[in-house]
């Protein structure tokens, strides 16, 4: 999987209505984590090698290197179908 694909998958997970998003591990911060390539965060820091990490846009002070396997193991076709169903239900509720 390329870095771009990893970032895309984390993005799908984070905006999904029916899973719990990955949140910041800092006390009293509930920021929704965003996937970024570590060298894009700080090109001058010695990261070892480029990798996708999770960062917190809220406190800007949290970096998580581990991305749970479930983010990649989920069936994204079903994921899309579920998302469409939820969107459809929201529209119906609005039009009500
Ligand atoms: Zn945070």
Which residues of the chain fall short of a pLDDT of 50?
Answer: none
Q: Taking the domains of the chain in order of start, what are their residue ranges?
A: 3-95
Against a cut of 0.85, is the pTM above it?
no
Q: 58 C-alpha to center of ligand 1: Å?
A: 5
64, 4, 56: which is closest to 31 by C-alpha? 56
* Per-residue pLDDT at 73: 87
CA dist., res. 46 & res. 44, Å (int)? 6
Q: What is the DSSP letter of 74?
A: S
Contact criterion met (CB below 8 Å) for 13 and 32: no
Residue 57 C-alpha to ligand 1 middle, in angstroms? 7
Q: Structure tokens of 3?
A: 């870095």
CA 33 / ligand 1 centre spacing (Å):
8
pLDDT of residue 47: 93
Ligand 1 center–CA 70 separation, angstroms? 22
């Amino acid at each position: 999987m390329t870095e771009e694909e990893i970032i895309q998958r984390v993005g799908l997970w984070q905006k999904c209505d029916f899973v719990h998003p990955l949140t910041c591990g800092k006390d009293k911060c509930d920021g929704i984590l965003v996937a970024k390539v570590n060298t894009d965060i700080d090109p001058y820091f010695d990261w070892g090698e480029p990798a996708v990490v999770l960062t917190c846009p809220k406190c800007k002070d949290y970096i998580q290197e581990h991305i749970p396997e479930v983010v990649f193991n989920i069936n994204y076709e079903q994921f899309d179908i579920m998302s469409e169903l939820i969107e459809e239900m929201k529209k119906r509720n609005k039009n009500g």
